[in-house]
Amino acid sequence: TVHPHEKLHPGSAPCVCSKYETMPPKKAQKDTSALPLSAKFARCKNTLSMGFVGLPNVGKSTITNLLCGANHAEAANYPFCTIDPNEVQCIVPDQKFKYLVDTWKSPSIIPAALKVVDIAGLIKGASEGAGLGNAFLSHIAAVDGIFHLVRAFESDEIIHVDDSIDPVRDLDTIQSELCLKDQSVMENVVNIEKERVRKEKGLSRSADVPLSETFQSAFDKVNKLLAAQTPVQTGSFTEGEIELIRDWGLITTKPQVYVVNMTKKSFIRKGSKWLPKIKEWVDSHGGGTIIPMSAAFEQEYADLAGDAAAQKAFLDECTAEAAKLGLKGPGFACKSVIPRMIRAGRDALCLQSFYTMGPKEVRAWTIQRGTLAPQAAGVIHTDFEKGFIKAEVCNFEDFKKLHGGEKSVAKVKEAGKYRQEGKSYVMQDGDICVFMHNIAKGKK
């Protein structure tokens, strides 16, 4: 019999991810107790995406190109050069995965990736259709998290849609448009809920439809946040309210990572007059991660790809430039922040990896935090979830410490660090797994 994983991934090693045994359990549910609010609003899937949102000409396409290491998005000095969203896959920097790859030296190597969407620039009035507003807002609604990019660099060559540089004003503009779009969605929420209740209770069109306290509470909280230009995902809600709000499809329930595109000089100095003002704005609008970066710096570094010595010389030169200004120490060592951005996007979406490994393939699989073992098995193949029996698991650090250079978990087992876990096991970041399952012949 051909193993289902072998059918799905020809050439891979089925022995490292599953074995056959008996009866499938009932389908497990995800443990969301430890997740941040934005993740509880998210769709329950493992192929989540981040989207770049910002005004035109702030560097979205350039940075998207840099994130994936290739020119997938058209980068041009024109406000609407990116009309259709460009999707790219960004390899997730992962030292654990690299260690497993170096250990096994398997012919097939499949790292984790983060999908990033480059969305064309919004302008003031987009929520009412200005520019290409409505189309862009629908593209934002289709992603699961937002890289909110603002421009903090001057350039005579790259025009600003508002003719001047003011990232705080730009933050206000974008946040306002997203909140206004959500407010327009909220106008129909009551009618949709009444229609749902009417059908559920079999009420006539003329009947007075009662709305639950939970619905009214969620509705009022959301409207109050939106009126204050504050993202819904920063609010405080009960589990019942979250269940309702999740179905409303609001843009501001999505997690946001704020990215500040500065000049190369400001990035080297690790400072800009705008950064304190941006932090103050972010803190007053619910808080969030802020990543200062320079597309100009990153582009110069990326242009030297393939020449490690030249890249090191470039970083050393930039670090020396900072030292001349009295900016010394590890905190002022210049390095690319592209890996940090990818990790920040992944963290915002609450994604993590588990690994399968063997002589034919080493692979990182992406799941959301809180995923239970049967659901993780289902990421490899749906049959693994349907017929899940148990998972054999070892922690990456235990493997690294104990395997003694061998391409095997034998010494991990000898040390008692190789565990069997059942259907209620919550997967941990960096787990190395073998899933045991059984699907009776003729049944799917």
Helix, strand, or coil (residue 296): helix
pLDDT band for 8, please (50, 70, 90 cuts). Answer: very low
Answer whether residue 110 shows pLDDT above 50.
Answer: yes
pLDDT band at 207 (very low <50, low <70, confident <90, very high): confident
Mean pLDDT of 58-78: 66
CA–CA gap between residue 420 and residue 433 (Å, rounded) = 10
How far apart, in whole angstroms, are the C-alpha atoms of residue 84 and residue 96?
Answer: 36
Cα separation, 245 vs 195, in Å, equals 16
The CA distance from 54 to 434, in Å, is 43
The mean per-residue pLDDT over the stretch 267-287 comes to 91
**Over the stretch 133-181, which tens digit does the pLDDT of each residue have?**
456 667 887 899 999 999 888 765 555 555 578 899 999 988 988 898 8
Token pair belonging to 239: 């589990």
Separation of alpha carbons 154 and 263, rounded Å: 8
Closest CA to 213 of 238, 232, 188, 247: 238
Stated as kind and residue range, the H or E segment containing 420 is strand 419-421
Three-state DSSP class for residue 261: strand
**pLDDT: is 145 or 80 the higher one?**
145
DSSP 3-state assignment of 258? strand
Segment 334-344, tens digit of pLDDT: 999 999 999 99
Which of the four pLDDT bands, split at 50, 70 and 90, describes residue 440? low
* Mean of the per-residue pLDDT values of the chain: 83
Q: What is the pLDDT of residue 46?
A: 63
Q: Which percentage of the chain shows pLDDT scores above 70? A: 80
Model pTM above 0.85: no
| C-alpha span between 398 and 47 (Å, rounded) | 28
- Confidence at residue 74, expressed as pLDDT on a 0 to 100 scale: 40
**How do residues 364-409 score in pLDDT, each as one tens digit?**
999 999 999 999 999 999 999 999 999 999 999 999 999 999 999 9
In the numeric block, the tokens 């862009």 are attached to 136
% the chain with pLDDT above 90? 52
- Dihedral of the CA atoms 225, 238, 41, 167 (nearest 10)? 30
Residues in the chain: 444
- How high is the pLDDT of residue 238? 92
Quick one: pLDDT at residue 70?
Answer: 47
